[in-house]
C-alpha cells in the first residue's frame, strides 16, 4: 500500500518529530509499503546524508526563523497551504499520516476529505494546552483548540505517545476506540554509551533540546547561583534562549556555554561526556502531562538524569538507574545538581542505564506499533 507522511520537519533535522517519523517511515518500508514523505526544505547548511533509498522524500520551500526553525503560525502556513495542494495533486495514498501543528492537520484532513483518503494524526502534543501554558491570549488558545478537535474528529485514528496524552485526548472528547497508544522513544543505535565524546572539559551539565516557555529551563540557570562549581551547556533552540543568555550574565557569568542545534550524532557525543543531562517542564499552566523526549536520548546514552518539574518526566527520572527528580525550584535543583556532581557515574553504571533505556524506550518498537496502526487504517 502507498502511505504518505506529511510533516513540516523530517530527518535529518534534529527533533523528536524527525526521529519519530523517520522510524515510522522505515517501519512502513520494512513492512513492504510504498512511503512518500512530504516535508520542508532543510535549513541552510544542513545536508541530507545517506537518505533511506526506500523512501520518496519530497521537500518544498518554507519560512524559517533566524535559528532555522519552522516556528509560528505564519511559517506553519507557509508549509501548510502548499501542502494542501501537494496532497491534492499527489498520487493517491491508502492513508496519510500527519504530525502537529494542527494547522498542518487541517490542511491534511481537508485534502484527504476531497480525495476520500483516511488520515492518521500523530498526537505527540496537545498544542492548545501548550499555548495556554505559554501564556497565549485566550482567543488564540480557543482557535488552536478548535483546530485540534476538528482534526481529531476527522482522523480515522489518533496515535498517542504516552498514557498522559491518551488521558488528555479522552478528556477533550476523542473516542477511546479511535486512540492508539504507541508510546515514544529514541534511536538507541545513535544514542548509545559507546562512541566518541565531545571535546570539552568533563564535568558539565547538559541541557540538549528546545528551551521554550513550557519547559522553564531557566530554573537550571538560577540553580547555578547555589552551585558555584557547576558548569552548564545549553545545546539547541527555543524562544527562551535570549532571556536565558541575559540571566546568565547576571547569575553565572562565564559558566554557561550556548551551542546551536546539532545533528543527533553530535548531541550523542555531548551526552556521553556529560556529568548529568537536564530536562524540565513547568509544573503550572496545564501542560504537566508533557514529556521531554530529551530524557530518552540522555538515558540511552548512559548519562545521569536530572528532571525538574512534575508529571511523567519526573516518574521516568525516578525510575531510571541514574535518575534524579526535583521540584521546579532553584534550591532543590541546586541540591540535586550538587549531589550528582559530587559522585560521578562510573562507566559500568552508565552502561547499565543504557541497557535499561534500550529495554524501555527503543524507538524501533514504537515505530512498529505505529506502522501497524497506520496499516490497519489503510486496510479499512
Total domains in the fold of the chain: 2
Q: What is the pLDDT of residues 320-345, one digit of tens each?
A: 999 999 999 999 999 999 999 999 99
Q: Quick one: pLDDT at residue 83? A: 97
What was the pLDDT predicted at 50? 67
Same domain assignment for residues 120 and 137? yes
End-to-end CA distance of the chain: 12
CA 372 to chain centre: 22
pLDDT in tens, 216-245: 999 999 999 999 999 999 999 888 999 999
Residue 55 CA: distances (Å) to CA of 29, 166, 169, 300, 332: 7, 30, 31, 27, 47
Whether residues 6 and 150 fall in one domain: yes
Q: Tell which phi-psi region holds residue 233, choosing left (phi > 0), alpha (psi between -120 and 50) or beta.
A: beta
Query: How many angstroms separate the CA atoms of 311 and 110, rounded?
Result: 35
The rounded distance, in Å, linking the Cα atoms of 365 and 186 is 10
pLDDT of 228 reads 93
Q: Is there a domain that residue 194 lies in?
A: no
Q: How far is CA 78 from CA 24, 39, 221, 230, 343, in A?
A: 25, 12, 35, 42, 49
DSSP state of 117: -
Spatial separation of the C-alpha atoms in residues 112 and 170, rounded to whole Å: 24
Q: Are residues 220 and 118 in the same domain?
A: no
Helix (H, G, I), strand (E, B) or coil at 54: coil
Q: Check residue 262 and give its pLDDT.
A: 87
Cβ atoms of residues 365 and 318 within 8 Å: no
Task: Provide the pLDDT for residue 261.
Answer: 87
**What are the cell numbers at 173?**
472528547
* Number of neighbours of residue 247 by Cβ within 10 angstroms: 16
- Enter the pTM of the model: 0.85
Domain of 178, CATH number, reads: 3.40.50.2000
Range of the domain at 52: 2-185+362-379
Residue 308 · residue 219 · CB < 8 Å: yes
- Burial class (CB within 10 angstroms; exposed 0-12, middle 13-18, buried 19+) of 67: middle
pLDDT at residue 376 in the model:
97
> In terms of domains, do 176 and 247 share one?
no
Beta-ladder partners of 35: 3, 55
Same domain flag for 122 and 220:
no
Residues with Cβ within 8 Å of residue 53, at least 6 apart in sequence: none
One domain for residues 89 and 237: no
145 and 167 share one domain: yes
Same domain, 66 and 149: yes
Same domain, 350 and 367: no
Question: Which tens digit of pLDDT belongs to each residue from 169-190?
Answer: 999 999 999 999 999 999 999 9
For a pLDDT cut of 90, what percent of the chain falls above it?
81
CA distance 322 to 319: 8
- Identify whether 232 is part of a domain: yes
User: Is 192 part of any domain?
Assistant: no
- Whether 197 is in a domain gets the answer no
Report residues of the chain scoring pLDDT below 70: 49-50, 285-286
Is residue 275 domain-resident?
A: yes
190 found inside a domain: no
3-state class percentages of the chain: helix first, strand second, coil last, to nearest 5: 45, 15, 40
User: Who's near 360: CB < 8 A, 6+ residues apart?
Assistant: 185
* Residue 196 is assigned to a structural domain of this protein: no
* 147 shares its domain with 218: no
User: CB under 8 Å to 329, separation ≥6 — which residues?
Assistant: 219, 308
Identify whether residues 302 and 177 lie together within a single domain. Answer: no
- Assigned domain for 283 exists: yes
Q: In what order do the strands lie in the sheet with 55-60?
A: 55-60, 34-40, 2-6, 95-98, 119-123, 157-160, 179-181
Both 155 and 253 in one domain: the answer is no
pLDDT score recorded for residue 66: 79
Contact 240, 218 (CB under 8 A): yes
Beta strands in the chain, from DSSP E residues, in sequence order:
2-6, 34-40, 55-60, 95-98, 119-123, 157-160, 179-181, 205-208, 232-235, 256-259, 276-281, 305-309, 323-326
Q: What does the block give as the cell for 327?
A: 521540584
Amino acid at each position: 500500500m502507498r502511505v504518505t507522511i506529511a510533516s513540516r520537519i523530517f530527518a535529518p533535522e534534529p527533533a523528536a518529530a524527525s526521529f519519530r517519523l523517520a522510524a515510522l517511515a522505515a517501519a512502513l518500508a520494512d513492512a513492504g509499503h510504498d512511503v512518500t514523505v512530504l516535508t520542508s526544505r532543510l535549513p541552510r547548511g544542513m545536508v541530507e546524508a545517506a537518505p533511506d533509498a526506500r523512501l520518496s522524500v519530497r521537500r518544498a520551500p518554507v519560512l524559517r526563523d533566524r535559528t532555522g526553525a519552522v516556528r509560528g503560525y505564519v511559517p506553519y502556513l507557509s508549509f501548510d497551504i502548499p501542502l494542501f495542494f501537494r496532497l491534492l495533486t499527489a498520487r493517491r495514498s491508502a492513508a496519510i499520516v500527519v504530525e502537529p501543528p494542527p494547522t498542518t492537520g487541517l490542511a491534511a484532513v481537508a485534502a484527504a476529505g476531497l480525495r476520500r483518503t483516511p488520515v492518521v494524526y500523530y498526537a505527540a502534543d496537545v498544542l492548545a494546552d501548550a499555548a495556554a501554558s505559554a501564556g497565549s491570549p485566550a482567543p488564540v488558545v480557543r482557535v488552536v483548540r478548535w483546530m485540534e478537535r476538528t482534526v481529531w474528529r476527522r482522523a480515522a485514528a489518533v496515535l498517542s505517545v504516552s498514557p498522559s496524552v491518551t488521558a488528555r485526548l479522552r478528556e477533550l472528547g476523542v473516542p477511546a476506540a479511535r486512540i492508539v497508544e504507541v508510546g515514544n522513544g529514541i534511536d538507541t543505535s545513535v544514542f548509545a554509551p559507546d562512541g566518541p565524546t565531545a571535546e570539552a572539559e568533563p564535568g558539565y551539565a547538559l541541557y540538549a533540546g528546545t528551551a521554550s516557555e513550557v519547559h522553564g529551563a531557566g530554573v537550571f540557570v538560577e540553580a547555578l547561583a547555589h552551585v558555584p562549581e557547576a558548569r552548564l551547556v545549553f545545546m539547541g533552540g527555543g524562544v527562551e534562549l535570549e532571556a536565558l543568555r541575559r540571566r546568565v550574565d547576571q547569575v553565572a557569568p562565564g559558566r554557561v556555554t550556548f551551542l546551536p542545534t546539532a545533528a543527533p550524532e553530535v548531541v550523542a557525543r555531548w551526552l556521553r561526556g556529560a556529568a548529568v543531562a537536564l530536562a524540565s517542564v513547568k509544573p503550572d499552566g496545564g501542560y504537566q502531562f508533557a514529556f521531554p523526549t530529551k530524557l530518552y536520548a540522555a538515558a540511552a546514552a548512559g548519562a545521569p538524569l536530572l528532571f525538574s518539574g512534575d508529571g511523567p518526566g519526573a516518574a521516568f527520572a525516578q525510575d531510571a538507574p541514574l535518575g534524579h527528580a526535583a521540584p521546579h525550584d532553584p534550591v532543590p535543583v541546586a541540591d540535586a545538581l550538587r549531589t550528582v556532581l559530587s559522585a560521578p557515574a562510573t562507566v559500568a553504571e552508565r552502561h547499565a542505564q543504557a541497557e535499561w533505556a534500550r529495554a524501555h524506550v527503543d524507538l524501533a518498537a514504537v515505530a512498529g506499533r505505529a506502522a501497524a496502526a497506520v496499516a490497519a487504517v489503510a486496510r479499512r
